[in-house]
Amino acid sequence: MIPIQDNTPRRCPPIMTWTLIAINLTVFLIEIQLPQPVLKYVFYLFGLVPERYANISWNSAILHNWAVLWPFLTCMFLHGGWIHVLANMWTLWIFGDNVEDEMGPFKFLAFYLLSGIAASLIQILTNPLSTVPTIGASGAIAGVMGAYYILFPRARIVLMVPLFFIPFFFEVPAFFYLAIWFLEQFFSGTLSLASSTFESNIAWWAHVGGFSFGVFLHRLFLGRRQRPCVRFTDEYRTFGMMTPRDRI
């Protein structure tokens, strides 16, 4: 199931969402210019390698050099391929604007980054011996999805399901789609821990950690209710669309 769009109108231009998308795409365009050995080194240097932080010697190094904590931030802006980066940015585009509306751009940025850090911490706790760099914005975006799940449960999400190369489109409530997405991450992550034969290059538990952070802690970042940036909120109701005041 591929999300195509939601029906929740935004009040303000999502400046921070646009900025984050632009930064991620710019970093990726720089990545693809690098020779493969250099890119691999960049991933290990700026990606999050769980074994480093579970290792006693590294724990000691953190006390003397806080620079070793930079990967908690930099790993969110690295991606392993076109599908990886485009899928993440598309998801951020769909869910980020409405969450940013509720928080304001700077609180949204703080929320986004802390969601990514929470995702990385859960990834370390669940895979402490992994030497594979964890990269990508999906943990932070999972936090945005978790906030959207609580803030806009009655929103409608248009999904596309390809069957035999024929795309089928249908709508589902946001709470249904996001709940199914979370359960998929949770059960896949559980299977990866329980079975030594289950291999995946997806950081399932980072997604679980980011989503959980968004669900339980997003209220700390909500801004005070302000006048809408757009004046025609009544017209949204005319066309059957939901304004932010209509959410549960």
Residue 91's contacts (CB-CB under 8 Å, 6 or more residues apart) are 3, 138, 141, 145
Q: State which fold the 2-246 domain adopts.
A: Rhomboid-like fold (1.20.1540)
> What is each CA distance from 235 to 13, 156, 157, in whole angstroms?
18, 18, 20
Q: Are the beta carbons of 3 and 169 closer than 8 angstroms?
A: no
Position 229 scores a pLDDT of 78
Position 216 scores a pLDDT of 97
Domain residue spans in the chain?
Answer: 2-246
> What is each CA distance from 212 to 98, 135, 144, in whole angstroms?
18, 19, 10
Q: What is the pTM of this model?
A: 0.88
Distance CA 237, CA 245 (A): 11
Strands 166-173 and 2-6, bridge-based pairing: unpaired
Q: Are the beta carbons of 86 and 164 closer than 8 angstroms?
A: no
Q: Are the beta carbons of 51 and 128 closer than 8 angstroms?
A: yes
H/E element, 163: strand 156-163
Position 197 scores a pLDDT of 56
Partnered with residue 173 across adjacent β-strands are 156
Sign of the dihedral defined by the CA atoms of residues 53, 57, 62, 67, in that order: negative
Helix, strand, coil percentages for the chain (3-state, nearest 5)? 65, 10, 25
What are the 10-residue block averages of pLDDT along the chain, 248 residues in total? Answer: 92 96 98 96 94 73 70 96 96 97 96 98 92 95 98 96 86 96 95 70 93 97 73 42 40
